[in-house]
Amino acid sequence: MVSRMFRLVTEVDRTRRDLLRTRLRETNTTASSVLRSLRDTPHEREFPLHVWVLHERGALAGGLVGHTWATWLHVTYLWVDDRYRGTGLGSALLAEAERTARDERACAAARVETWDFQAPDFYRRRGYEVVCVIPDYPPGVTEYTLVKRLE
């Protein structure tokens, strides 16, 4: 129960968000020896990882946006223009991101979230395993979380 000495506020506040993130990070680091061991190492921070497929004139044919953190690759977005689907561009994008994460950033695993109408089978065919299924998120759609060991 919230007492009279507090008030609940529902507004976007970047300063409070940053303070909350800092305090949560401190709390988590104190509670977890694993997170504590990441402190002051290259794996402590998220590092962007982007891979692009461009036409000869520079137009975007496809891309992958993700980041690496704590020896994991997190694939945030992977998209290929309709005209080039089925040509191997998506596989090439994913393979290059995995190679970079593994060979240049010492990542041991990768993860991705995707919806049922997007690409769960694409990831399964590339060695990813479903570890979480959330039905009706958003309503009428199923979300999948998939992971893969990078060897």
Question: pLDDT of 58-94, one tens digit each?
Answer: 999 999 999 999 999 999 999 999 999 999 999 999 9
Q: How far apart are CA 122 and CA 79, in angstroms?
A: 12
pLDDT reported for residue 37: 86
Q: What is the mean pLDDT of the chain?
A: 94
**pTM, full prediction:** 0.86
| CA-atom Rg of the chain in angstroms | 19
> Residue 148 and residue 133: Cα distance in Å, rounded?
16
Q: Are 18 and 58 in contact (CB under 8 A)?
A: no
Q: What is the pLDDT of residue 86?
A: 94
Indicate the pLDDT class of residue 42, thresholds 50, 70 and 90.
Answer: confident
First to last CA, the chain: 50
- Give yes or no for residue 100 having a pLDDT over 70: yes
Judge whether residue 56 has pLDDT over 90.
no
Which one has a higher pLDDT value, 32 or 76? 76
How many residues can be counted in the chain?
151
**What pLDDT shows up at residue 119?**
95
Mean pLDDT of 123-136: 98
* Predicted local distance difference test score (pLDDT) of residue 25: 87
CA distances from 54 to 7, 21, 119 (A): 52, 36, 22
- Least reliable range by pLDDT among 34-38, 71-75, 101-105: 34-38
Q: How far is CA 26 from CA 19, 31, 39, 97, in A?
A: 11, 9, 11, 30
- Give yes or no for a contact between 114 and 126, defined as CB atoms under 8 angstroms apart: no
Q: How many C-beta atoms lie closer than 10 Å to residue 72's C-beta?
A: 19
pLDDT in the model for residue 75: 98
How large a percentage of the chain has pLDDT more than 70? Answer: 98
Q: What is the structure's pLDDT at 2? A: 62
